[in-house]
Amino acid sequence: MSPEDFLPIAERSGAILDIGRWVFNQACMDAAQWSGDIRVCVNVSPLQLESADLVSDVKKALATSKLDPARLQIEIGEPLFDRRTAGTIEKLQELHKLGLNIALDDFGKTSGSLGNLRAFPFDEVKIERSLIKDAPMHEDSAAIVQAVALLAQALSMRSLAEGVGTVEELDAAVRAGCKKVQGFYFTHAVPASELGHVLSECQQKLAVAA
């Protein structure tokens, strides 16, 4: 089942809080078994950010797994901006102080992003996949991707191209200056037990764009 199907139901019912708590615990436990240079990323919903338990839940997951906080990245979407409060910014800043990385997901999907980049402690900007898909064929899309990558660099943030599905999209993202990429060109979702094999294949595919 696609997250686009079950996440809205989980958020409306409030079950996202229990699901999110489990995901943090499982992700940290899995990542603690991996090579020390691999970071695990966890998506966080606006409802979780509004919860009083978020920071303590993350602290417990890190303590139980003994995972280095620098290896955990939380990702939030632009809809958070519509529900921005002093409390949500304070929680993100507290998590950032723990050593976590914080990424803005799907940058460019909605409007009003630029003014908010300064308000949140983002380490990474993830460029929306529709721009990446169009970049090999349309110069204007490639120019936007390059502009976002340069903006991220100027703000001391990393830029990541989302939804890379072909070698042409990978090449366009790299030429535009994106420092990181992700997408089905590398792999679909797999169990954590298959990560080693996937990483080996990814290294080979990245060599194509080197």
Angle at 160 between CA 28 and CA 186, to 5 degrees: 75
Give the model's confidence band at 112: pLDDT under 50 very low, under 70 low, under 90 confident, else very high.
low
pLDDT, one tens digit per residue, over 8-30 is: 999 999 999 999 999 999 999 99
Mean pLDDT of 63-81: 91
Is residue 113 over pLDDT 70? no
Residue 66 makes CB contacts below 8 A (sequence gap 6+) with: 32
Give the residue numbers spanning the domain of 135.
Answer: 3-208
Amino acid at 105: D
| pLDDT at residue number 124 | 94
Of the listed ranges 79-83, 186-190, 191-195, the least confidently predicted one is 79-83
| Band of residue 108 on the pLDDT scale cut at 50, 70, 90 | confident
Q: What is the distance between the terminal CA atoms of the chain, rounded to a whole angstrom?
A: 35
Counted domains in the chain = 1
For the chain, give the percent of residues with pLDDT over 70: 96
For residue 105, count other CB atoms closer than 10 A to its CB: 22
Q: What is the largest CA-CA distance in the chain?
A: 48
Q: What is the CATH number of the domain that holds 201?
A: 3.20.20.450
Average pLDDT across the chain, whole number: 89
66 versus 86: the higher-pLDDT residue is 66
Per-residue confidence (pLDDT) for residue 111, from 0 to 100: 54
Task: Give the pTM.
Answer: 0.84
More confident residue, 155 or 86: 155
Share of the chain above pLDDT 90, in %: 63
pLDDT of residue 210: 57
CA 143 remoteness from chain centre: 22
